[in-house]
Amino acid sequence: MSLASASSSLLRSCARQQVPAARAALASCQQQRGVADASSKATFASPFDNSTTKIPNFGKYASSKSPRSNQVFSYFVAGAMGLGSAVGAKATVQDFLVNMSASADVLAQAKVEIALDSIPEGKNVIIKWRGKPVFIRHRTSGEIDEARATNWESLRDPQSDEDRVQKPEWLVMLGVCTHLGCVPIGEAGDFGGWFCPCHGSHYDISGRIRKGPAPLNLEVPAYNFPTEETLVIG
């Protein structure tokens, strides 16, 4: 017998001897799988009849308390979170509004009160209001007549003197040139009112532009007379 045929017959006899052992091992595996299947069926429970879907059984996590007590707890948590969110939103909005509102020094400048008896007739006073100069002129009767005698319809920015003052003797306007924002000089210029030296604008005794590059009359701010002797600007 050759060496090759001897080895082949040896392998065949070994394989024949191993078959029963392999069958026994397979049977054992199948048995174990059956046990596992049975235990997994115990772990997975489907609430639906004939369902092939395996749904994990979360029974061990289920609350042991009554449904009413669980509802009370859920409502309490939801309510507390809602309340906390509302308080946070209110604080945020409040902080935002406080930051955006005018500071105390700005509010203090919002209105300025002037005692008129301190301004003699024929004199100018310049005060600061909201960071800008304001001209207050106590006009004489001659100045009032001059302002009202002007043919205002032909002016560059047509406006009657009556529309620019509340009381004829008190002229109140912003001291900011309407050309490029310089502060005009009082009692100067070709029309006896104000003159802006920056580029040569002339305003009359009513603050209307009469000559030079400025396009508009001097602006009249909001003001009123709470008493006969008091002027409030703003």
Nearer to ligand FES, 112 or 198 (CB): 198
Nearest distance in Å: CB 197, ligand FES: 8
199 assigned to active site: yes
Q: Could you give the CA distance from residue 129 to residue 126 in angstroms, rounded to a whole number?
A: 10
Nearer to ligand FES, 136 or 214 (CB): 214
Nearest distance in Å: CB 102, ligand FES: 29
Catalytic entry in 138, 179, 199, 202: 199
Helices (H), the chain: 3-43, 67-100, 104-110, 141-149, 161-164
- Kindly state the DSSP code that residue 193 receives in the 8-state scheme: E
3-state SS string for 97-159: HHHHCCCHHHHHHHCEEEEHHHCCCCCEEEEEECCEEEEEEECCHHHHHHHHHCCHHHCCCCC
Residue position matching structure tokens 């006899």: 13
Nearer to ligand FES, 207 or 212 (CB): 212
Nearest distance in Å: CB 151, ligand FES: 23
Nearer to ligand FES, 188 or 198 (CB): 198
Closest residue by Cα to residue 179 from 125, 215, 146: 215
Nearest distance in Å: CB 214, ligand FES: 5
Given the rule CB under 6 A, which residues bind ligand FES? 177, 179-182, 196, 198-201, 212-214
Backbone angles phi, psi at 190, to 5 degrees: -75, -10
Using an 8 Å Cβ cutoff, are 135 and 172 in contact? yes
Catalogue the active-site residues: 199
